[in-house]
Amino acid sequence: MSANPQEIVRIYIDNSNLWIQGQKTHARKRNLKVLTDPTWRFHLGRLESILIDAILTEEAPRVTTHLYGSTPPLVDAIWNKFKAQGTVVRTYKRGGWTGREKGVDGKLIAESVKYAVRDECEGISSHVVIVSGDRDLADSAVAEILECGFPVHVWAWRNSLADIYRKMQEECERLHVHLLDDYMEAFGYCETTFRVEKARISPHSIVVLDPMPKADAIQELVSDLEISCWQYVNQKQRPNASSQDLIIIPVYSEEMSHDSLVDLFIFAKRTLEKHDLIVMTYLDYCQQYWGSNPIETLAVSNRFDELSDTRPYSPEKPPASSNDKNDPNDGFVTPNRQARKFKEHALKKEK
C-alpha cells in the first residue's frame, strides 16, 4: 500500500501504559527481584517507525503523534525533546495523594474520535494507531473509529492488553492487535543518569548518608510510606564515604503542604535513625557538603544491577495484571498497602 496526499497516520500514545508497563516488562525480562526497572526508557522516533511500518511499506505517509500522560518527572527532560520533534504532548497533574491521572483517557478518547469524524467528513484516508491496551478505550475510542470505516492498530504490552481487543479483532478485520514485547529491543533503552533541575527538588527531600549497608531497611521504609518517591544517588561521593548518598524525592512534593513535607521527613528520619543511619534534608545536605560545588547529576542506584534472579520468566504464564495504567509510581517505587497511619495523618494535614 502506498501513501497519497489524502492519507494520514494518526498515532495516539498513552504514556503511562507504554512506559510503566514497559518498565515492568523489562524487569521481568532481566529477571530482577523488583516489580519495575526504573532505568528503562523508550525512543519515540524508533517506536514511530515500527508503528508506521506495520501499516505502510512504500512512500512515507503524513504522520501526527499525540502523547498523553501525567506531569513528567522533575529530573526527566525527555518530554521537552518530544515537543521539539513535533509531537503534541498533553500532560495532566496527578491527584495529590492518590497519584491517579486526571483527564488522560478522556483527552485521548476525545481527540482520536474527533479527528476520525473530521477525516471521514473530509474524505481523508486515516490509519489510526493507539498505543494502549486499556479496557476503557475499547468501546469509547476504538469502536467509534472503526465505525468511521478506518483501520485501527492497537499496540500494547502483553501484561496490559485487555482481552476485549482479541475478541474485537476476530469480529472486525479492520482492527489489528500488536504486542510491543516483540519490539522492545528495537525502540527501548536504559538510562541511569539524569540532569538535576535543582529548583524543583523539594528542600525537604530525604538524604541518607552511606545507605548501602542498610539498603533493605531503606527499601522497607519507602515501601511503607504509600507516597510515591523517586530514589536516586548522588554521583559525587563525599570524602571517606562508604557509598554514594541516596536522595529520596517525593513525587508530588509540589502539591504537598509544607507541614506534610516536614512530617514525611521527620517520620523517615526517626525510622532510619533506629538503624544507625544518618538522615538530613536535601537543603542541609547541599549546604553542608556541596555549597560551592552544586549537585548537577543524579543516577538510579546501581543496586538494581545486583538484583538478578535465577528464576526465569515464563511468557506462557505471565503474572496477573490489574492493567493499572494509573499506577502512581511512574516506575520508580512500588508502595505496598500496609502503613496506613502515616497516610491518614498526612491526609488530615492536606485537608
Sketch out the chain's domains with CATH numbers: 7-190 (3.40.50.1010), 193-350 (no CATH)
Q: What is the 8-class DSSP label of residue 203?
A: T
pLDDT in tens, 263-288: 999 999 999 999 999 999 999 999 99
Contact 295, 245 (CB under 8 A): no
pLDDT in tens, 48-98: 989 998 986 556 678 889 988 765 554 455 556 666 566 777 765 544 433
Higher-pLDDT residue of 180, 41: 180
Predicted local distance difference test score (pLDDT) of residue 61: 74
pLDDT in tens, 301-347: 655 444 333 333 333 333 333 344 444 333 333 333 334 555 555 55
Mean pLDDT of the chain: 77
Predicted local distance difference test score (pLDDT) of residue 93: 56
Of 147, 120, 140, 138, the closest CA to residue 177 belongs to 138
Q: Calculate mean pLDDT across residues 154-165.
A: 94
How many CB atoms are located within 10 Å of the residue 189 CB? Answer: 12
Predicted local distance difference test score (pLDDT) of residue 302: 55
* CA dist 258 → 2, 73, 109, 203, 328 (Å): 58, 20, 37, 10, 21
Please state, in angstroms and rounded to a whole number, the distance separating the CA atoms of residues 67 and 186.
19
Predicted local distance difference test score (pLDDT) of residue 316: 39
Predicted local distance difference test score (pLDDT) of residue 331: 33
* CA dist 275 → 123, 206, 218 (Å): 68, 15, 9
Predicted local distance difference test score (pLDDT) of residue 306: 40
pTM of the entire predicted model: 0.62
> Residues with Cβ < 8 Å from 170, sequence gap 6 or more?
none
E strand map for the chain: 7-14, 40-42, 62-70, 88-92, 125-131, 152-156, 175-179, 188-190, 193-195, 206-209, 229-234, 246-250, 278-281, 297-300
Q: Calculate mean pLDDT across residues 202-223.
A: 88
Q: With 80 as the cut, is the pLDDT of residue 167 above it?
A: yes
Q: Calculate mean pLDDT across residues 183-202.
A: 77
Predicted local distance difference test score (pLDDT) of residue 103: 59
Q: Calculate mean pLDDT across residues 4-30.
A: 85
Predicted local distance difference test score (pLDDT) of residue 158: 94
> Residues with Cβ < 8 Å from 313, sequence gap 6 or more?
28, 29, 31
H or E stretch at 271:
helix 258-273
Please state, in angstroms and rounded to a whole number, the distance separating the CA atoms of residues 248 and 146.
46
279 three-state secondary structure: strand
pLDDT band at 156 (very low <50, low <70, confident <90, very high): very high
pLDDT in tens, 96-135: 433 444 456 788 899 999 999 999 999 888 899 999 999 9
Predicted local distance difference test score (pLDDT) of residue 117: 95
